[in-house]
Amino acid sequence: MRQKIVAGNWKCNTTLQEGIELAKAVDATVAEKGARDVVVILGTPFTHITKVVEAINTGRIGVAAQNCASEAKGAYTGEVSAAMVKSTGAEYVILGHSERRQYYGETSGILNKKLALALENGLTPIYCCGEALEVREAGAQNEFVKQQLAETVFTLSPEDFKKIVIAYEPIWAIGTGRTATSAQAQEMHAFLRGTIAEKYGKEIADGTSILYGGSCNPKNAKELFANPDVDGGLIGGASLKAEDFIEIINAY
């Protein structure tokens, strides 16, 4: 179902104690003055999920893992399975983030295994796509993201595709302070929705939440979120400060 979503991706930041404090601060402010019709998600490190789930008690915030294993279980030292994530109380899992593709060699093949396991275990995947600067400069961003989708989420049945959230995160905008302009975001989101419509039909495309990520902050969130095809944001750096994150939520 298409929803307005503001999701934080804490990445590899915060100790457990700092994370709990941050979650409590966001929870309290969301309870007090958070926009009612926005789904708020905190993407925490694995180690924090259980405690963050316990710490938030407004029932208005969902928790996401930032990854899950590509195997169901077994001798895979250091991995955390989708079933384990689900058993913590998390409802979402971020998959295909460019940092995982770039630094940990995540291919479409690996992502397909992760997507299948996430869905089997009742987690909502937040699937990230987005092009590097060279691709944008060559004007090839549309074909690039279309290919990313074709190799991964477009292999899902319509029933499963309906359960996922898409996040468009241009790599050149992540952590760089160089946000996509509102027009660039809208253009790509409209293209993504059109591509989804070609594959699954208009009804499913119109029902898909497509988030923007990449240097989204309290100053630019309002303009980005005002676009008809932008359904919210996946927020990195600005999700680490409760006040900034809440301002972004209230940009709606």
d(C-alpha 3, C-alpha 247), whole Å: 18
Question: Is residue 189 among the annotated active site residues?
Answer: no
Question: Is residue 131 among the annotated active site residues?
Answer: no
Site for ligand 13P, residues 157 to 176, rule: CB under 6 A: 169, 174-175
Judged by beta carbon, residue 149 or residue 238, the one nearer ligand 13P is 238
Structure-block tokens of residue 136: 């944008």
Judged by beta carbon, residue 200 or residue 221, the one nearer ligand 13P is 221
d(C-alpha 150, C-alpha 153), whole Å: 7
Q: Measuring CA to CA, which residue among 84, 71, 73, 75 is closest to residue 114? A: 71
Judged by beta carbon, residue 81 or residue 239, the one nearer ligand 13P is 239
Judged by beta carbon, residue 8 or residue 34, the one nearer ligand 13P is 8
| Per-residue interface string for the shown chain with ligand 13P, residues 3-42, x marking contact by CB under 6 A | ------x---------------------------------
Dihedral of alpha carbons 149, 120, 200, 222, sign? negative
Phi first, then psi: give them for residue 131, nearest 5 degrees: -100, 160
Structure-block tokens of residue 94: 């971020």
Check residue 215 for interaction with ligand 13P (CB under 6 A): yes
208 Cβ neighbours under 8 A, 6+ residues apart: 2, 161, 162, 164, 165, 166, 193, 196
Please tell me which residue in 48, 97, 99, 131 is annotated as part of the active site.
Answer: 97
Residues marked as catalytic: 97, 169
Q: Which spans of this chain sit near ligand 13P (rule: CB under 6 A)?
A: 9, 97, 169, 174-175, 213-216, 234-238
